[in-house]
Amino acid sequence: MSPNGARPVRAHASVDNLRTYLLAAARRDPDRPAVIQAAADGGLETVTYGELERRVDRLVDALDALGLDVGDRVILESDTNADAVATLLACATLGLPFTPTSPEVPDERLLTIIDSAEPALHIQSDHGQRTGIPETVGTARFGPGGLTVERAPAPRVRRRRVVTPIDTAYITFTSGTTGRPKGVVMSHRGVIAFLRGAEAARLVTAEDRVANTSPLQFDFALFDIGLALGHGATLVPVPRARLNWPRRFLSYLRDAGVTQVDGVPSVWRPVLRHESDLLAEMGQEGVLSRITFSGEDFPLDELRRLQELLPKARFTNGYGATETMAASITEVPNPLPPGTERLSIGYAVAGAEMMLLGSDGSPVDEPGTIGEIYLRSPSLFSGYWRDPEATRAVVLPDPLHPGSGQVVFKTGDLAHMGPEGELYFRGRVDSQVQIRGNRVELGEVERRIGQFAGVTGAVAMVLPREDGDPLLHAFVTCAPAGPAPDTREVLAFCRAALPAYMVPHGLSVVNEFPVTVNGKVDRTALAAHVAS
């Protein structure tokens, strides 16, 4: 063997590696469809598991020739498609942590990620438009023809040969709805532990076609890829442009024979507004058998409406944070029972456990009492990239077995327990704000406003003022056909049920809430709305 890595680095087939786990179906049944995607001619094309594996191997050879070491980072910028999946699996094979990102991520944000991750290589698709990648970073393109290197990465020393399950599979940079953006480092062992646990929820069968609507940099996309390929099912990435056009979105789902749609609640908003008849037709056909949502609370009005249109579909609420990929997968009754006030986030996936702890660190087992969710899980992230202090703040000795050396994840999420031990999300610890010395849970204010007739969504926040106390302000959306709710009436409605300090000082009616690149409500953009 030559001293500097002539032998290609390979993941050992018998231990946990994202590649071996996700391509297991290629061994069993190479002709199964792995990905159905939009083709250049406007139609659809199918990539089988066998073909996907061939593309992975071709990319492995090309990447290996660049002499990168296990642990060298690769930025993978793409829409979700078969070649992006092949590229991330090639990175996994070689132990190159990939950082997924999408073409719509602004330059400035990408440069911040590059600055932090110090990647060896930036790879985008043949059609990628990104320019201005710093000189220190190699650049390449991928496509059906394989890898084209534009600028070779700086030469490096290869110290490692073996890819182990504790090596990093990927680093995702969160969008920051839960604080400042952080690089979440996830090992092969962690992500596979999650996917194995999720198998017990039986969300997907090998016959399913799972539509992915989240952009690649959101780990919800990795969840979709993991769940579909982990079950030998078919991944159907929905082109981003189609998501903004509800009719084109639905016809794409129909043409591709999609059986399940995964996405944040906001992907359904345009459909509910403009194409409810077409969705109802598809509901009658019974083609969409499951809707899985995750990332934030689904406004109950909208969820009920969606269920009316899809009476035969099953609904699933995926709850959790990037730090453990997700935590729970819970069946939502369809239709929701009339008095339902909030959705259950149930129990942790198989192999993990959610605990509720009070602010003094003691367990909360009284139903109805709010505590913070701590997660005991084999899918715990390895830490925040280059931020040991932030890691130490949330990865803590197991409070119930402090001597065991085991650690748990402090989620920053609040919940209460229902009669069967199931949990109900109650907002973030950091959404508890102080108003005139009183502790206010913004979610409670939002819930009350959301009960006002005609209001379809509410977001409450505290706006700082240069002089004087910060002010509580609320934003609402309302049904497109109905009249805008009267501000004074909404505030009176709040006053009837909430203490004075929880009644917003002002209220703005907006057409729709701005969303982040991941599709969650963008609170910062909303705040700017009032400031401007």
Residues in touch with ligand ADP (CB under 6 A):
174-178, 294-297, 317-322, 345, 411, 413, 425, 428, 518, 520
Nearer Cβ to ligand ADP (3/106): 106
74-77, strands of its sheet edge to edge: 146-151, 138-143, 121-125, 74-77, 98-101, 168-173, 183-187, 383-384
Nearer Cβ to ligand ADP (309/375): 375
Nearer Cβ to ligand ADP (320/450): 320
Minimum distance of ligand ADP from residue 427's CB (angstroms): 8
Nearer Cβ to ligand ADP (20/217): 217
Residue 124 phi, psi (nearest 5): -130, 170
Nearer Cβ to ligand ADP (153/295): 295
- Non-local CB neighbours of 402 within 8 Å, separated by 6+ positions: none
Strand partners, 48: 33
Nearest to 306 by CA among 345, 273, 344: 273
Nearer Cβ to ligand ADP (97/295): 295
Nearer Cβ to ligand ADP (345/417): 345
Q: Is-contact 282 291, C-beta < 8 A?
A: no
Q: What's the Cα-to-Cα distance from 339 to each of 300, 304, 523, rounded to whole Å? A: 11, 12, 29
Minimum distance of ligand ADP from residue 79's CB (angstroms): 19
CA-to-CA distance for 114 and 133, rounded, in angstroms?
Answer: 9
The two three-digit tokens of residue 93, written as one number: 């094979």
Residue with tokens 């009005």: 301
Minimum distance of ligand ADP from residue 18's CB (angstroms): 19
3-class secondary structure, 357: strand
Report helix, strand and coil shares of the chain as percent, to nearest 5: 30, 30, 40
Minimum distance of ligand ADP from residue 184's CB (angstroms): 7
Minimum distance of ligand ADP from residue 372's CB (angstroms): 11
CA-to-CA distance for 524 and 240, rounded, in angstroms?
Answer: 23
Pairing of strands 471-478, 506-509: parallel
Minimum distance of ligand ADP from residue 174's CB (angstroms): 3
Helices (H) and strands (E) in the chain, counts: 16, 27
Nearer Cβ to ligand ADP (136/524): 524
CA 428, chain centre distance (Å): 17
3-class secondary structure, 82: helix
Minimum distance of ligand ADP from residue 175's CB (angstroms): 4
Minimum distance of ligand ADP from residue 431's CB (angstroms): 9
Nearer Cβ to ligand ADP (319/493): 319
Minimum distance of ligand ADP from residue 198's CB (angstroms): 14
Q: Is-contact 315 331, C-beta < 8 A?
A: yes
